A = this chain, B = another copy of it.
């Protein structure tokens, strides 16, 4: 099972690594980070570099496609190598997935038209522009298209996917292996739960948010 995780400059690290850490533990998984070029790809802050080990052309037919989000998403909203690769890979993929604003890239590539999808809560309202029904849930599975909400939700997305691919026992084994028993010290993970002033402050800065969530 070939899993391709797309990297692009100014991606959000956890968007990519959450699903990686789960999906790479599936039996027979072969995971590869792909980019327009091989070599280091920097994240939104520029203080983290992941290495793309393959070009898009090197990985034409992955079984699973994972598209992370991050402010660099804005560079991939019109037709180009990434969209062309996504549309071609999607023809044969078993699952086409995204985390955070990665769903905007899938949408702009035309892959989510007429479907339900989620995204980072600050980006949900952008989905209808591509004929996608925004759905404020943590993980949306619509046919083979699996989209996750913001950043950390990729872990939950990947565990859902692991269960569907390999069965509940394997997914639970992975959950136990990564000791995923979350205990956030606050209950502020969604706009419904966070203090109103924090939500409004973050929303007011939302044009910066997609640049950098916290200044």
With contacts A24-B47, A168-B186 taken as known, whether A176 is within 8 angstroms of B152 at the C-beta atoms is no
* Contact residues in B for A170 (Cβ distance below 8 Å): 214
* Contact residues in B for A20 (Cβ distance below 8 Å): 13-14, 48
Distance (whole angstroms) from the CB of A26 to the closest CB of chain B: 7
Which residue of B17, B185, B193 is within 8 Å of A163 (Cβ)?
A: B185
Query: By the criterion CB–CB under 8 Å, are B214 and A25 in contact?
Result: yes
* Contact residues in B for A156 (Cβ distance below 8 Å): 182-185
Q: Which residue of B lies closest to A164 (CB)?
A: B185
* Contact residues in B for A139 (Cβ distance below 8 Å): 183
Query: By the criterion CB–CB under 8 Å, are B47 and A183 in contact?
Result: no
As a 0/1 sequence over residues 191 to 212 of chain A, the CB contacts with chain B under 8 angstroms (1 = contact) are 1011100110110000001001
Tell me the complex Cα distance, A181–B172, Å. 19
A-B contact pairs, 26 of them (CB 8 A): A13-B20, A17-B17, A24-B48, A31-B45, A31-B47, A33-B48, A49-B50, A49-B53, A50-B51, A139-B183, A151-B180, A152-B180, A156-B182, A159-B185, A163-B185, A169-B195, A169-B198, A172-B194, A173-B188, A173-B202, A174-B214, A176-B194, A180-B182, A180-B184, A181-B184, A181-B193
Which residue of B53, B169, B181, B184 is within 8 Å of A159 (Cβ)?
A: B184
Distance (whole angstroms) from the CB of A55 to the closest CB of chain B: 15
Count copies of this chain in the complex: 2
As a 0/1 sequence over residues 129 to 156 of chain A, the CB contacts with chain B under 8 angstroms (1 = contact) are 0000000001100000000011111011
Tell me the complex Cα distance, A24–B209, Å. 14
- Total interface residues on A, using CB and 8 Å? 73
Q: Is A94 an interface residue (CB 8 A)?
A: no
Which residue of B14, B191, B194, B215 is within 8 Å of A17 (Cβ)?
A: B14
Tell me the complex Cα distance, A174–B180, Å. 20
